[in-house]
Amino acid sequence: MSGNNLLYVPDGIFSSMPNLKHLDLSNNSLVTLQDGVFANLSNLQTLDLRHNSLKHLKNTTLFEFSSHPGLSVLLGDNSWVCDCNIEPFFSWLKETTVVKNSSILVCVSPEKMRDTPVTALKIPELECPPYVTDTSLQTSYVFLGIVLALIGVIFFVGFIFEQKRY
């Protein structure tokens, strides 16, 4: 499945392949991995996730990797974001033998962390991204309110004109 411009791996795609031993998902555009996507692959020996756009890995994914005895995971050349959210991944990398060549994993952002090996991070120095409020839903409700008000005005004006005709 290498080089297919995949953005995500659909849930359950591997459920009918429990004997799969080598899975190459390299050279895609994967940004994240869904929980449980590799759960049924009890015979998986190598998982190649190099050359994707992974920024963080969730705790559930890390646990899933660790629960596969003998699994070898390749994670080089991804877009690791080294802010406070990478701490679980950092800690896991320090403890696991699942990831081969973990020393080549480097931060892509923020700028001051660029090219820093993930395993060499100093956790207290990591910054958290500023909290961004998603206002798109609020904007949608405001727009809906304006549209409904205009419809109400049009019906009201039509009703007034209709009353004056009689």
What is the dihedral angle through the alpha carbons of 61, 21, 72, 117, rounded to the nearest 10 degrees? -60
- What is the mean pLDDT of the segment spanning 83-97? 91
| CATH number of the domain bearing residue 82 | 3.80.10.10
**The pair of three-digit structure tokens given for residue 139, joined into one six-digit string:** 């904007």
Domain limits for position 140 = 133-166
Does residue 28 sit in the same domain as residue 76?
yes
Confidence of residue 166 (pLDDT cuts 50, 70, 90): low
- What is the mean pLDDT of the segment spanning 111-127? 91
Confidence of residue 131 (pLDDT cuts 50, 70, 90): low
Look up residue 121 and give its amino acid.
L
Does residue 100 sit in the same domain as residue 137?
no
Helices (H), 7-166: 59-66, 87-95, 136-165
Q: With contact defined as beta carbons under 8 Å apart, do 71 and 100 qualify?
A: no
Res 115 pLDDT > 90: yes
Does residue 10 sit in the same domain as residue 52?
yes
Does residue 82 sit in the same domain as residue 119?
yes
Does residue 29 sit in the same domain as residue 62?
yes
Give the single-character DSSP code of 117.
Answer: B
Does residue 39 sit in the same domain as residue 12?
yes
Q: Domain count of the chain?
A: 2
Q: Identify the pLDDT of residue 67.
A: 85
Does residue 69 sit in the same domain as residue 45?
yes
Q: Which of 122, 128, 28, 130 is nearest to 79 (CA)?
A: 28
pTM over cut 0.85:
no
pLDDT digits 0-9 by tens, 30-87: 998 988 888 788 899 999 999 999 998 988 888 888 888 889 999 999 999 999 999 9
Q: Which residues contact 126 (CB under 8 A, 6 or more apart)?
A: 82, 83, 84, 86, 87, 113
Does residue 34 sit in the same domain as residue 65?
yes
